[in-house]
Amino acid sequence: MALIAYFQSVRSPKLRLETKVGDGANGKVVSTVPDKSGKFMEVANDPGSTLHFTLICDNDAFARNPAVKVTIVRGLSGLQAASGWSLGEYGPDGYKSAQWDGGADYPIHGGWRRSLPPFPLGGLRLTKNEATNALILLRWVAEGIRRQSTPLIITLR
């Protein structure tokens, strides 16, 4: 019995990240609007301009200390603080990354899902007023697995 418990404790989780833009119907953020100065276009503050993340453990291993990092690569700038997320790297156009840390409080059991706090894009500025899409790099990790990543292209309409 002890060997079975040990084997299960050292197995690596198969962790994947599911992402949905808004309600997931079209993968586009809500129309952009001029900012107060009229110089920049901003993403509208709307439920359709929110990213929703779910971490999923696809095997029966236990994912300890999960974390997700969102990095704006191009198209948008000026990340703002969001509940449950910590701001990260800072550049000439403001913050360009944010991170959710599950730590020991939010493990993901084998075969289970964990929804993360919503990540609003509302209020972010387009880097060019004619920008038609944004590139965001998503990375996730947990104890015992290598960092995984995927690009996310969001159409700005």
Threshold 0.75, pTM exceeds: yes
Give me Rg for the CA atoms of the chain.
18
Are the C-beta atoms of residues 69 and 139 closer than 8 Å to each other? yes
The label of the residue with tokens 């990092």 reads 69
State both tokens at 77. 């700038």
pLDDT at position 4: 53
Domain boundaries along the sequence of the chain? 2-156
Are the C-beta atoms of residues 97 and 81 closer than 8 Å to each other? no
Classify 2-156 by CATH class: mainly beta
Closest CA to 150 of 12, 53, 57, 11: 53
Amino acid sitting at position 130: E
pLDDT at position 136: 95
State both tokens at 103. 């730590």
Tens digits of pLDDT across the chain (157 residues): 565 555 555 678 889 999 999 877 776 776 677 777 777 788 888 888 899 999 999 888 888 899 999 999 999 999 988 999 999 999 888 899 999 999 888 888 888 999 999 999 998 988 876 678 899 999 999 998 889 999 999 888 7
